[in-house]
């Protein structure tokens, strides 16, 4: 059995009615939010505490028990999943580790891609002296695989779907920008070579399909791409 999220998400609000986070799905086992671009998934250093996890911990009665299952880059928007108890966290984390979760990202690249579909396999390595930059390294890199499909070409840009099989840091961004991948950076991705001035990185986690940790039924979460 498959469940999909409502098209218009519920909104969780902080003190004074300020908009905080759109909730796509929730039950007693898990919660999924539509993370806005620019917000951390989990807290960072002392001066970088504003995050999805900390906001939910503050706003929800059971927030202290929440645990992140995966992460999105700060610049990336879209579906972020969190567990509400240890059992849910264990089951969901296992699905991600065993690559049993189907993920779909939508993006706009700052150039034309001529190949309609394909698979990119490039090993990624984080240089300790140049974080958070990731690069292709055949000796030290970790295997990473991304499937892609062109949706439409719009002028001098290309809208694509990316389906990452592995979940390395900046995987889609590097696979798009590196000349051994597509050779075209994501629109707004200054870290990996985009020269176009835009308000945000054009990368959105659009869909997530996984097994519910309690019922075993398929959950298919979806959200609209904001660009």
Alpha carbons 226 and 36: distance in angstroms, whole number: 10
Domains and CATH numbers, the chain: 2-101+209-222 (3.30.2350.10), 105-192 (3.30.2350.10)
Note whether 184 and 113 are within 8 A (CB).
yes
Distance between CA atoms of 142 and 163, rounded to whole angstroms? 18
pTM of the predicted model, to two decimals? Answer: 0.90
Burial class (CB in 10 A: 0-12, 13-18, 19+), 28: exposed
50 is catalytic: no
Which one of the listed residues 27, 50, 73, 189 is annotated catalytic? 73
Q: Give the whole-angstrom CA distance, residue 103 versus residue 70.
A: 12
Instruction: Note if the bond before 132 is cis, omega within 30 degrees.
Output: yes
Q: Is 206 exposed, middle or buried, given 0-12, 13-18 or 19+ CB atoms closer than 10 A?
A: buried
* Angle formed at CA 153 by CA 113 and CA 205, multiple of 5 degrees: 80
Beta pairing partners, 117:
149
In tens, the pLDDT along 156-211 reads: 999 999 999 999 999 999 999 999 999 999 999 999 998 888 999 999 999 999 99
Q: Is residue 132's pLDDT more than 80?
A: yes
């Amino acid at each position: 059995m498959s469940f999909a999220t409502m098209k218009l998400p519920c909104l969780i609000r902080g003190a004074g009615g300020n908009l905080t986070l759109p909730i796509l799905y929730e039950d007693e086992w898990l919660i999924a939010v539509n993370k806005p671009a620019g917000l951390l998934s989990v807290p960072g250093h002392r001066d970088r505490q504003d995050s999805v996890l900390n906001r939910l911990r503050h706003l929800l009665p059971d927030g202290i028990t929440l645990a992140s299952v995966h992460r999105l880059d700060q610049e990336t928007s879209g579906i972020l999943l969190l567990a509400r108890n240890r059992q849910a966290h264990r089951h969901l984390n296992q699905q991600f580790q065993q690559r049993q979760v189907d993920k779909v990202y939508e993006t706009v690249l700052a150039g034309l891609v001529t190949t309609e579909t394909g698979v990119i396999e490039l090993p990624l390595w984080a240089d300790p002296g140049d974080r958070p930059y990731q690069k292709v390294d055949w000796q030290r890199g970790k295997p990473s695989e991304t499937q892609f499909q062109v949706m439409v070409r719009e002028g001098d840009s290309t809208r694509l779907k990316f389906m990452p099989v592995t979940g390395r840091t900046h995987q889609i961004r590097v696979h798009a920008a590196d000349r051994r991948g597509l050779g075209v950076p994501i629109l707004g991705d200054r870290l990996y070579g985009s020269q176009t001035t835009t308000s945000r990185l054009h990368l959105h986690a659009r869909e997530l399909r996984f097994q519910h940790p309690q019922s075993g039924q398929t959950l298919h979460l979806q959200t609209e791409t904001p660009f």
